[in-house]
Structure 1
Amino acid sequence: MEKYLDLTNKLISSLENSSLEILEFKMENFSLMLKKNKPIEKNLISEREVTRELDKASVKVSGFDKKEEVEANKNIKTLRTPILGVFYSSKSPDSEPFVKVGDQVKKGDTLCIIEAMKMMNELKAPYDCKVIDCLVNNEDFVEYDQEIFKLEQI
């Protein structure tokens, strides 16, 4: 086994010092294929850098719009699950969902049910609000502290 290890190290060294991209070697019951990674061009800008630059540019171009939008969205909060389980938007498959996007609900109204260990847990509205978005689908499995609703506090 040790002779194969030495041989492999020598083959790797040979491949690194050559212009070959692939080296395939077979001997007795030993077979080895080595491939070089193509070098990354340093002139190329990473996708992350491009995104960062575009974000900076959009903030500069539409800075006033962003500020107004942030002020309008101060009352929008995300509701997270207190437990993990299965998300249900209604009491039964035949009934209407507890809430729909655009609905206004009072504090204590049921927003959904999360089934955990065969127990149905109603998730209530923490304050008077308007449902801006539901971030999960009916019967999706939700994790603890996962975002499930965007609510605008009224």
Structure 2
Amino acid sequence: MEKYLEVTEKLIKSLEDSSLNVLEFKLDNFSLKISKSPFYENNLQVMDLQNKRNDESNNLITDKKIEDKDELKEETNIKVLRAPILGVFYSSKAPDEEPFVKVGDEVKKGTTLCIIEAMKMMNEIKAPYDCKIVDCLVSNEDFVEYDAEIFKLEQL
């Protein structure tokens, strides 16, 4: 496993020193994809509207049907923020401090949402646009994989 850490460090250094934007590497059972481009532009996905339609068709017809349609219209602004790297997720700078954000908070573009620690480097994950925190999908100190869903954001 240590050889993979050394290889990863060398690949990150090589990417930083090059004009490449993305580097993908595979060796035996080890694969790595790293990117210099802004993570939030590439890793945000609009929730799949088809799944919502399927969910809606499975709902029983009730007096709340009109309310459900209003809720669906509101949810079309919801996007999923994905982890740009793998590492340990931290919701605050220190264990005894308040989290950067809580569910329901409205934040401006560039506000720090969390930190992901990778190879002893603390990487601040920032809000890609003005948004409201709808849900945090991971717990403090959880290990997150690359491209894992970490937040649901409602674009304002």
TM-score, normalisation: structure 2: 0.59
Aligned to 1:81: 83
Aligned to 1:134: 136
Shift of 1:58: 1.9
Whether 2:51 is the aligned partner of 1:70: answer no
Shift of 1:68: 2.5
Q: 1:57 to 1:124 in 2, by over 3 A?
A: closer
Shift of 1:67: 3.1
Q: Highest Rg: 1 or 2?
A: 1
Q: Helix, strand or coil: the match of 1:132?
A: strand
Shift of 1:63: 5.5
Shift of 1:76: 1.1
Q: 1:60 to 1:136 in 2, by over 3 A?
A: same
User: Within 2, Cα distance between the matches of 1:129 and 1:55?
Assistant: 25
Percentage identity across paired residues of the two chains: 69
Whether 2:32 is the aligned partner of 1:58: answer no
Whether 2:155 is the aligned partner of 1:153: answer yes
- Number of aligned pairs? 101
Aligned to 1:91: 93
Shift of 1:56: 4.5
User: Within 2, Cα distance between the matches of 1:96 and 1:139?
Assistant: 14
User: Within 2, Cα distance between the matches of 1:60 and 1:77?
Assistant: 27
Aligned to 1:23: none
Worse-superposed segment, 65-74 or 129-138: 65-74
User: Within 2, Cα distance between the matches of 1:66 and 1:136?
Assistant: 27
Note the residue ranges of structure 2 that are not aligned, 5 or more in a row: 1-54
Q: 1:126 to 1:60 in 2, by over 3 A?
A: same
Aligned 8 A contact 1:59 1:66 in 2: no
Aligned 8 A contact 1:77 1:150 in 2: yes
* Deviation readout 1:5-25 (Å, 9 max, x if unpaired): xxxxxxxxxxxxxxxxxxxxx
Q: Helix, strand or coil: the match of 1:71?
A: helix
Q: Helix, strand or coil: the match of 2:151?
A: strand
User: Within 1, Cα distance between the matches of 2:100 and 2:57?
Assistant: 41
